[in-house]
Amino acid sequence: MIKNPIPWPNGARCAVAFTFDMDADSILHLDHHSSAHNRVMALSMLRYGPEVAVPRIVETYKRFDMTQTFFLPAWCMERYPAAVEAVLRDGHEVGHHGYLHEHPNEMERDAQREWLHRSIEVIEHFTGARPKGYRAPSYNFSSHTLDLLVEAGFDYDASLMGDDIPYLLDNGAGTVVELPSHYALDDWPHFMTSRDFGYMTSMKTPAQAVELYQAEFDAAWEFGGLWIAVWHPFLTGRLARWAAIVKLIEHMHGKGGVWFATLEQISSHVRKVVADGTWQPRTDRLPYYDKPIPELGEVEPTLVAP
């Protein structure tokens, strides 16, 4: 099923990474700058992430002896240092997820660069090192993002959905390892309901969400794939959902042959097997397009509408 399977370490059948994007209330200020302070229920729902869910999640990881990746908007690190400490105390990885969850593809290139570097400084301040990895807020990777990641020395990106296994992104000046996921492994479609954000969908039960996650995991295990959950503490870290995820982790352990890793570890494994010649990844040259396609007529490129 996978044309060019990657050899995972120690003969593992698949690689698994639970990644949490701890957006907290950054997304509320971004969407409702002038009124966010007055939306107290929404603030409480989002603050549940750093204050209740993150301690719960790291506790579970400790029980299973797992080290994982957290993508933290830098503003959230400044606001919720205790959650950052809890993540760092157990050796989890902190990845770059914007400053205030701003959307790169709604900004000019220079503004993107400015926000990227502002966040790098904050991460460096907290962790003592530059981040190795990046995930664009709301997957809003722009046609300039790869250039900026290469320029800033990032090792990997985890924003795209172009394969079942890692691949390389090349801009002509350098490469970044792409560690792809998919909406099927995102908790937002299952659980996000909020009047303040305009999501009034009927939510799934934990069992329904886990059924999909587990189907994706079983396929990754069978065919040698990469399984990356894109979850949010304020959604998946709630009581019933997290209890169901603990059972999913037990299912994964029960099957065996699973490499639980941080994205940094997966990315450095990719670099290693490429360097020693044991695996040749496919490479995407970006950007796919630098302006609107000509077949529909000449128009000025625009930023994605907010």
Interaction site with Zn ion (CB under 5 A):
21, 23, 137
Q: Please check whether residue 19 is in contact with residue 71, taking contact to mean a CB–CB distance below 8 angstroms.
A: yes
Q: Which is nearer to Zn ion, 27 or 249 (by Cβ)?
A: 27
d(CA 198, CA 81): 29
Report, in Å, the least distance between residue 154 CB and Zn ion: 17
Q: Which is nearer to Zn ion, 157 or 224 (by Cβ)?
A: 157
Sign of the Cα pseudo-torsion (93, 240, 15, 230, in order): negative
d(CA 291, CA 283): 21
Q: Which is nearer to Zn ion, 14 or 83 (by Cβ)?
A: 83
Phi-psi region of 186 (alpha: psi -120 to 50; beta: other; left: phi over 0): beta
CB-closest chain residue to Zn ion: 21
Report, in Å, the least distance between residue 90 CB and Zn ion: 21
- H or E element, residue 134: strand 133-134
Alpha helix positions (H), the chain: 26-31, 40-48, 54-64, 74-79, 81-89, 109-127, 145-152, 188-191, 206-223, 233-236, 239-255, 263-275
**CA-to-CA separations, 258 to 13, 193, 205, 218, 275, in angstroms, rounded:** 6, 33, 26, 11, 23
Report, in Å, the least distance between residue 97 CB and Zn ion: 6
Report, in Å, the least distance between residue 145 CB and Zn ion: 15
Q: Which is nearer to Zn ion, 16 or 100 (by Cβ)?
A: 100
Report, in Å, the least distance between residue 263 CB and Zn ion: 15
Q: Which is nearer to Zn ion, 190 or 269 (by Cβ)?
A: 190
Report, in Å, the least distance between residue 144 CB and Zn ion: 19
Which residues on neighbouring strands pair with residue 133, listed in sequence order?
A: 156
Burial of 68 (0-12, 13-18, 19+ CB in 10 A): buried
Q: Which is nearer to Zn ion, 14 or 158 (by Cβ)?
A: 158
